[in-house]
Structure 1
Amino acid sequence: MVELQVQVPTGCPDWLFSLFAINTTMLISVHVIAAMISTYILPSIDSVCAGQELWEGSGLDPSLWGVKPSESPHERMRGFIETAWIFSSVVGLFLFLTEVSLLSWVKFWDVCIPAATYGSIAVVPFFLLCAAFCFRFHAILAGHTYEVRALGLRQVEEMKERLDAANDSYA
């Protein structure tokens, strides 16, 4: 897509070339950012996992040696990991489908306008399917998160009630 060859001179309008260039740049940038985040986070997670395996395999209690195994960086970097996933999976997917549509217009503008039109129309069902999947997947994840948090709150309320009951019995 970056090495697109177009007839010169072309009747394709400048605004379409500009839109294609902007979309291509955004598509590549989104995937580079996602790859960069993933590249920097993976070694940190590997080192924590290796440290935990070392202590578990030794049969020793790290607290006896004054060592506190650090929490995994993926907990602290959850926002970055989710950003990488959203960039690569959601934004990148929609930019790629837009890229295919724009590519058909830039490539076929001088050759056959109906081909460019049909190329764009062919992308629409996949665009809608991907959008529906993303919304459904997000709804499922949000529902699960809500259920887990609600369960946690119920457990805290039960603990409070038991503590209150214990305090009342001592009073």
Structure 2
Amino acid sequence: MVEVQLDTDPTMYPQGLLIAFSACTTVLVAVHLFALMISTCILPHIEAVSNVHNLNSVHESPHERMHRHIELAWAFSTVIGTLLFLAEVVLLCWVKFLPLKNHPVVKQNNCTPASSGDDATITSGEAAAITSTTIMVPFGLIFIIFAVHFYRSLVSHKTERVERELDVLAQLQDQLDRGDTLHPTGSHFE
């Protein structure tokens, strides 16, 4: 996409289309490079901690302190990067097919070029670009719906897990307040 061959006549493209294509390509590459950089920097720390058999070393690792950065990199790469890629494909189709607008369209019935003054006719380049846009919009919507559903499921699972852990802690607190020696699972403390 970065090396797309554009027509040599720059007047064939609307300025906004070229700016959008350029900006989308640049941001897409930057987002993925940012995610790659964070992943590359965190991996050695995770490997170092996984080789140490001391549980306290997990909390000393930078990947715990940088948890928000890791989530940000994941969101950039997975969510924003995918949306940018879908937009990039649509923009690429417009950039590649729009120059065909200036080429004469041949009518099917008598094989003569269409008149250039007929504004109601959609050229083959515009039709191809509109088709790609029409196909990508539903995929983009499906992706957004799936991403929201998946994220909500993840948050719901994490919330339930934390609630269970809090319930266990509350049971332990109640037992300690009453002076019981039973563990929440029913076994005695040793």
Which has the higher mean CA deviation after the structures are superposed, 157-166 or 82-91?
A: 157-166
Q: Is 1:127 matched up with 2:140?
A: yes
1:79 is aligned to: 68
Change (3 A) 1:51 1:163: closer
TM-score by length of 1: 0.82
- Within 5 Å, give how 1:130-145 maps onto structure 2: 130-145=143-158
Structure 2 partner of 1:70: 57
Provide the C-alpha distance between the structure 1 equivalents of 2:13 and 2:142, rounded to a whole number of angstroms: 30
- Normalization by structure 2: what TM-score? 0.74
Shift of 1:69: 5.3
The residue number in structure 2 matching 1:44 is: 45
Match of 2:15 in 1: 14
What's the offset of the Cα at 1:126? 1.6
Q: Distance in 2 between matches of 1:145 and 1:75?
A: 17
Q: Secondary structure at the match of 1:3?
A: coil
Q: Paired residue for 2:3?
A: 3
Does 2:157 correspond to 1:157? Answer: no
C-alpha distance in 2 between matches for 1:73 and 1:147 = 27
**Structure with max Cα Rg:** 2
- SS of residue matched to 1:109: helix
Counterpart Cα distance in 2 of 1:154 and 1:44? 33
Equivalent of 2:99, from 106, 110, 113? Answer: 110
Distance (whole Å) between structure 2 residues aligned to residue 87 and residue 134 of structure 1? 13
Q: Which amino acid aligns with 1:105?
A: W
Determine if the alignment matches structure 1 residue 28 to structure 2 residue 29. Answer: yes
Q: Do the aligned residues in 2 keep the contact of 1:23 with 1:98 (CA within 8 Å)?
A: yes
1:106-149 residue CA offsets vs partner (Å, 9 max, x unmatched): 11112111111001111112212211211111011011011011
Residue from 85, 88, 91 that aligns with 2:77: 88
Q: CA deviation at 1:5?
A: 1.2
| Identity in percent | 41
* Contact 1:97-1:123 within 8 A present in 2 as well: yes
Tell me the SS of whatever aligns to 2:57: coil
Displacement after TM superposition at 1:76 (Å)? 2.6
Choose between structure 1 and 2: higher helix proportion.
1
Give structure 1 regions of 4+ aligned residues with deviation exceeding 6 angstroms.
none
Long gaps (5+) in structure 1: 53-61, 63-67
- Cα distance per residue 1:48-68 (max 9 Å; x no partner): 22233xxxxxxxxx7xxxxx8
User: Aligned to 2:76, what secondary structure does the other structure show?
Assistant: helix
Given that 1:51 and 1:69 are in contact with CA atoms closer than 8 Å, whether structure 2 keeps it comes out as no
Unaligned regions of 5+ residues in structure 2, if any? 101-124, 181-190
| 1:37 Cα offset (Å) | 0.3
Q: Secondary structure at the match of 1:4?
A: coil
For the residues of structure 2 that align with 1:160 and 1:96, how far apart are their CA atoms? 51
